[in-house]
Chain A
Amino acid sequence: MNIRDFIEDLDFSRKSSTVVFLIVILMVIGFFIWWLNIPFIEDIFTFGTIMLIMALGFQLFMGNSGILNWSYIGYVGIGAFASAIFSMTPALKALQIPTMYPFLISLHLPFPLALLAGALVAMIAAAIVAWPLMRLSDSVGAITQFALLIVISVLLSQWSQVTNGPRTFTLGGTRLTTFWVALGVAVLVIIAVYYFKESSLGLKLRATREDRYAARSSGINFVAVRYFGYVASAGIGGLAGGLYSHYILSITASSFYMNELFLLLSMLVIGGSMSVSGAFFGALLVTLVRQGLRQLEMLFSRSGFEASGSAEIVVAVILVAFLIWKANGITGGRELSWISIKRRLRIGSGKSDNIPKN
């Protein structure tokens, strides 16, 4: 019995193998880095994991519905500020942001609850505004989402009584988003996002992406389906935002704007926006490329040559190249699963390919 037959005999259900694969890959990388025990690399991994969570939440709506969701990064920002307001002690808030509304100053929750509360606030915000917007598609839909992002961004950057306005919002205290917190949440989010996609709601949402008229004639109320997907996506965005703010420890509204959205977009496109695996590998790849280039930039600037920003240029060029030549990204919009691996091996061994497409 050779190894190829052995793999074929193992029969995971297709649904679960993807989740297992992604979690195992993340865990292996995580434990390896933990074993290396270099704080600098651990920091990069933690930050990369937070970006991964953001990308997964982004994929949840954009990948399944096919709507270019500009406003997503705004909900990340809402979650970041909201969870920070919940987790900081009243004394600290009164000191850092004296202009804040008194009732906000008095709020206080332990960190895990504050994270959830941040996600909840983002979801509520999305739930309030989203319904009429879900009726719009194509360029009108894209511009509406874009306009919504501007509205959220202006509110975050000007509402001094909540976000300290255009000034920096400093959380103070210790870094609560540790290596293990980020890793743990990422595992949970991978599970949630994948099973959302496989759920009947996710299936309906994907149906509206493929052909909204066919979906509608099959009895799918796509405004409602999009709405729930959008709100769920905002929730994961808010969660990621909370992790982000408790990692960075000082945020401004401009931390949640075009540049960050562009990064998320490139992760999704390069990985393949239609699958969870795509968001996963896209986030992995873009983080690697970016951090590598960052180090090069620093090397350059030490030798007196200013090169900051070149990392974004490289990511942007890769993004356009992918859009031109491989629009479905490295995963081709498929999930990584036992079946896809087995199919690969079969093609390699010359056997006929009679497994139905993913």
Chain B
Amino acid sequence: MNAQVLLEFAINVLSMGSLYALIALGLVFVFGICKLINFAYGEFITVSAYVLYLLGVFTSLPWPLVFLIGILASVAIGFLSELVAFRPFRGRSLDALLVTSFAVSVIMQRLFQLGISPRSKAVPIPAFFNMNVELLGVITPLRNCLIIGTTLVLLIVLVIIMKYTVLGVAMRGASENFVTARLMGVPANLVISVAFIISGFLAGVVAIFWSARTGSVEPLMGMSPLLIGFIAVVIGGMHSLPGAVVGGFVYALIANILSLTLPTSLLSFRDAFMFAIVIVFLVLKPEGLMRGNYQEERVG
């Protein structure tokens, strides 16, 4: 009995953590190279979820194709938003970039409200996602196993790309020191575009599993994955890709523990506790759990 509870807890943490790790990775890919905290990242996810909704409701395309188009949509949005909104800020202050991404996020939210609906819409997800399976005596929806598997595969692929391809090495170089990387012949536009494309791709994958879990999509849905991503990134270390993955899992662990241990009267304050932890983390350990190429950011 006790072992079973523990196993259930572990599956919850692993499946949530996988999803959160992907969210955090999408943020860190862009942050690492552009030093942009991308507030519009949540909307990349929303775009993809809306495509899933539109294709699922109004067409009868097979689901693998729907998923593929959904991912392509957020990839396109990632690529285009960089081209239109972020490229003019190359070499400008961090705050200008940050405010721009905030503005892009507001524009996209309002466009969803105007163009589709301010109310939430049910996203049709293939039935096997929510089918219950028995895993070592624990009953859990299949999507929990799928996300763990998907994340594992994606992480392996990303590690191979980052470690063994010229592009990956160039990207790692650019995130260590952008100026030097350019001097060594790394094309800046290409590297940044690829970072946004990978970020958009991850957002697309997240959108599938996020809307499978919530079952619906609404204009402001990007906010909660964005917040989760922030926390995970901060805990893991803002300058390190493995850190983002670790941060995602640590977030899932803390959130699950808080859900279990907080008395019900305090449960609604869970997010406040999470963000208080973030603040404490940033004050005491601004470089995060995994120390990347730490940049001077704390003074005093």
Contact = CB atoms under 8 A, between A and B. Distances in A.
Interface of A: 66, 68, 132-144, 146-148, 150-151, 154-155, 158, 212, 222-223, 258-259, 262, 265-266, 269, 306-310, 312-313, 316-317, 319-320, 323-324, 327
B110 A310 contact: yes
B279 A147 contact: yes
A147 B114 contact: no
B10 interface: no
B170 to A, nearest CB: 23
A8 to B, nearest CB: 37
A310 B107 CA distance: 9
Interface residues of B, number: 45
Nearest to B113: A309
12 contacts: A68-B99, A138-B297, A139-B31, A139-B37, A139-B238, A143-B37, A144-B282, A147-B276, A147-B279, A212-B299, A308-B113, A309-B118
B37 A310 contact: no
B104 interface: yes
Given A150-B227, A150-B275, A136 B269 contact: no
B110 A142 contact: no
Interface stretch (B55-63, B90-98, B132-140): B90-98
* Interface hub of A144, A148, A212 (most chain B Cβ within 10 A): A144
B88 interface: yes
Nearest to A146: B230
Interface of B: 31, 35, 37, 85, 88-89, 92-96, 98-100, 102-104, 106-107, 110-111, 113-114, 118, 223, 227, 230-231, 234, 238, 268-269, 271-272, 275-276, 278-279, 282-283, 286, 297-300
Given A148-B279, A158-B269, A310-B110, A222 B300 contact: yes
Given A310-B114, A320-B85, A136 B298 contact: yes
Given A139-B297, A262-B106, A265-B102, A158 B279 contact: no
A331 to B, nearest CB: 17
A40 B280 CA distance: 47
A316 B110 CA distance: 10
B283 A133 contact: yes
B111 to A, nearest CB: 7
Given A135-B299, A139-B297, A151-B272, A306 B114 contact: yes
Nearest to A312: B110
Nearest to A148: B279
Contacts of A307: 114
Contact of A158 (B37, B268, B282): B268
B45 to A, nearest CB: 16
B225 to A, nearest CB: 14
A143 B35 CA distance: 12
Nearest to A226: B300
B103 A319 contact: yes
A319 B104 CA distance: 10
A309 B110 contact: yes
A223 to B, nearest CB: 5
Which 8 A-B pairs have CB atoms at the shortest separation, nearest pair first?
A154-B272, A135-B300, A309-B110, A147-B275, A316-B103, A158-B268, A147-B278, A150-B275
Contacts of A212: 299
A40 B175 CA distance: 54
A137 B297 contact: yes
Given A133-B279, A144-B278, A144-B282, 19 more contacts: A139-B31, A139-B94, A140-B298, A142-B94, A143-B278, A146-B230, A147-B282, A148-B279, A151-B276, A155-B269, A259-B106, A262-B102, A265-B99, A307-B114, A308-B113, A309-B114, A313-B106, A317-B103, A323-B99
Contacts of A141: 297
A148 B114 contact: no
Given A212-B299, A222-B300, A312 B99 contact: no
